[in-house]
Amino acid sequence: MEADVSLKFRQQLLLIDENLVAEDVAALKFLCTDLLPFRKLESVKSAVDIFQLLMAEEYLNEQDTFLLAELLYRIKCHSLLKKLGYTKEKVQECLHEKARVSPYRQMLYELSENITNEMLKDIVFLLQNCLPKRRIPLSALELLILLEKQGLLTENNVQLLEEVCMNVSPDLLETVNCYKRAKVSFPQQENTLPVKESSLSHPGDFRVFTSPQETSIKSVGSNINDNKAANLTQGFSVMNLELPGEFSNVENESKKMTSYKMDGPHRGFCLVINNVNFDKSLQERKGSCKDAGELERVFTWLGLDVRTYTDLTSQEIKDLMRTWQRLQDHKDRDCFICCILSHGESGAIYGKDEELVSIRMIMSHFTAKQCPQLAEKPKLFFIQACQGKEIQCPVYVEADARIPDLSSMQQSISPSESIPEEADFLLGMATIDGYVSFRHIQQGAWYIQALCSKLQLLVPRGEDILSILTEVNEDVGRRVDRLGTKKQMPQPAYTLRRKFIFPIPRDPPPSQQH
């Protein structure tokens, strides 16, 4: 029996290994640097090699798989946790008492995830006199390991890292500074800092956020700087630490948060994908053309170059994302915005051919690695589509969902799971997961009309996008259908590190133009 259990356990490890790519193995090796002999780690070729080492050092066995669960969690392989009997939430709960990856190692891994290829080139240039001439690091992790090998970087000495980050990116520097502040404030806690990671944050796990269910901007009130800011999944790169007792950097850091640069020669591109007609059973989305026109007018007024696309298939949507991903003109723009109007299900929208396209897949085209021209720039996505089962609605109000009762069978996907796990993204959803969103067949969708209305009202007042979305929530939350039985609540999720404030246009809002 014991042999059967052991065989089953090793089979599970083999399945995990088969689902990890070379980058994942490199990340696991790095996170294990403080736990395993470096000489042995250097010979590692696969995840199985790492598992063998962890078992040899008694960090991993059939009865205790938490360290491996923690490692998979930190490299964002959440889907593999179930093979060990864990969920992302369960790992988060246990980190306070059982975490083995030190804050120092977390901080370095956080840095490596945020260092773009261009930044790496700059860093290597700055450190060329410190690095062995025979070996140029091919990745940020390799660079950090080289610095550690030469004694230029240790848990108690990150001065060189500070100097480099100061020259390359203030955001990287803040990551290092946050680690130093925590170490000074609570040196006795340095290996057991309680860490909660939202599904929106980076792998550093220093950020303090709530569960995905609490991502609604509604909870922040109208002022992003009030005390409730500590309870939002905001993804600040300052990596606010959740520490015992009364100490918390979250509110102080959020007050010091600066704004994204929005004074470039061009504001940015805004894509509007408007799917109205569908090939099979999905109903025509009457009123959506009014929404698309309103979005085009408002975002043009805000200085963006708007491009509208109508009735795209799922493949055409994917191809369009790849086209805009490769666009070099992004480098001269301040931001990127994409609005999608369609029918939808949990975590996905329908193409004209009635095939689903994952919202996460759409957004992932514009991460720093996939689209370096938009690195460190805000990327905003607004989705007008149902995220769950259609309900029977009055004749003047329609639901943006599939008519057949299929969506209730799908696994629920929250907005925070749709958004890429790196900084500078905002996903504005018309409704919370599992529910329909409403669209008047003449006046347009509740969410889009409220969004356009509040942008025109509050941008001239200098309000940031999160405050504006709070007002959108308030507006949509008050609306009901003509029978007073149907309501809707939008839900944003975001990893913005700074305030996003549109420059105030010179012209009056479109609603005031004649």
- Which pair of tokens denotes residue 497? 């590190």
Residue 450 burial (CB count, 10 A): 24
The answer to whether the CB of 324 falls within 8 A of the CB of 306 is no
Pairing of strands 444-445, 438-440: antiparallel
> How many residues comprise the chain?
514
Which of the residues 335, 386, 440, 452 is marked catalytic? 386
Which of the residues 343, 365, 371, 452 is marked catalytic? 343
CA dihedral 185, 186, 191, 197 (to 10 degrees): -70
DSSP code string of 279-293: SSSSPP-TTHHHHHH
Compute the C-alpha angle 186/192/198, nearest 5°: 100
CA 114 to chain centroid? 13
Q: Report how far apart, in Å, the C-alpha atoms of 270 and of each of 6, 225, 372, 435, 513 are.
A: 55, 28, 18, 27, 21
The answer to whether the Cα torsion of 19, 23, 29, 32 is positive or negative is negative
φ, ψ (nearest 5 deg) of residue 133: -65, -25
Q: H/E/C letters for each residue in 174-213?
A: HHHHHHHHHHHHCHHHCCCCCCCCCCCCCCCCCCCCCCHH
Residue 371 burial (CB count, 10 A): 20
Of 420, 412, 270, 394, nearest in space to 340 by CA: 270
- 157: three-class secondary structure by DSSP: strand
Longest dimension (CA), the chain: 81
Q: Is 386 one of the catalytic residues?
A: yes
Which helix (H) or strand (E) segment holds residue 305: the answer is: strand 305-310
272-296 exposure pattern, b = at least 16 Cβ within 10 A, e = fewer: bbbbbebeeebeebebbebbbbbbb
Residue 178 burial (CB count, 10 A): 24
**Cα–Cα distance for residue pair 224/464, rounded to 1 Å:** 9
Pairing of strands 379-384, 425-429: parallel
Q: H/E/C letters for each residue in 326-392?
A: CCHHHHHEEEEEEEEECCEECCEEECCCCCEEEHHHHHHCCCCCCCHHHCCCCEEEEEECCCECCCC
**Cα–Cα distance for residue pair 470/418, rounded to 1 Å:** 20
Q: Is 343 one of the catalytic residues?
A: yes
Q: Which residues are catalytic?
A: 343, 386
